[in-house]
Amino acid sequence: MTNFNLGTLTAPYREFDIEIAPGTLYPLRYDHQASEILECSLPDNIEVCYGGSGGFTKLQTGMIYTYPNDEVVPFLQIRNTHATETMTVKIGLAIGKLDDRRLSVSGTVTVQSTTDNPVYIERSPATQCVAGQITIPEGGVYLYEVTEKVQKVVVQNLSASAISAFGFVLFQWGVFELENFKGTVSIFGPAGATAHVGVFK
């Protein structure tokens, strides 16, 4: 003898599309433990009674009701309270748990519209336009003038003595960089100390 398994779930998830005339109710018969109103054309006029108990109650679209103690209810009633308009309803019923993770928004939703403002990033190579060695004079400060805005100014200490630029101390071979700069670079140190200054456009 061959056994054919044609299904093992009792009353699995099922959706029902229903039309309800004005002022009438619709008895929906399907064994279920959980229910959800998925769509309703008249959301302010829908009322539901579960298994004939407790009378009718208003219900919002997207609300899921799971019965306590895993109770199975064989039917529910849906009522259209509108006096003149026919209601269309989509409802989901199942024995088991309904877990709806869709975004459900009702009412008027105001969002702020903004124009597209793309940001474009382009890496452009810097070209060295000036490079040279400076020597700090007796006064202890060398003023290096950058007369136009450049991509980068690089200062490197060539001497054994420490020097500073913009408050940063540079020991021998130490490097300090300024980006997008225009103005005066003040390089402090003992008289005779030397440094390289490079300017890149």
Smallest CA-to-CA distance from 157 within 144, 142, 170 is with 170
Looking at residue 6, its pLDDT comes to 58
Amino acid 63: pLDDT: 85
Q: What pLDDT score does 109 carry?
A: 73
Closest CA to 67 of 86, 53, 56: 53
DSSP, collapsed to helix, strand or coil, labels residue 70 as helix
Q: Structure pTM?
A: 0.48
Report the pLDDT value the prediction gives residue 194, as an integer from 0 to 100. 92
> DSSP string spanning 26-57?
EEEEEEESEEEEEEES-TTSEEEEETTEEEEE
* Chain Cα centroid distance, residue 55: 43
Query: Whole-angstrom Cα distance, residue 47 to residue 60?
Result: 9
How confident is the model at residue 62, as a pLDDT?
A: 83
Please list the ranges in the chain whose pLDDT falls under 70. Answer: 1-8, 103-107, 114-116, 119-128
Please report the pLDDT score of residue 4 as a whole number.
Answer: 58
pLDDT at res. 104: 64
- The pLDDT of residue 78: 94
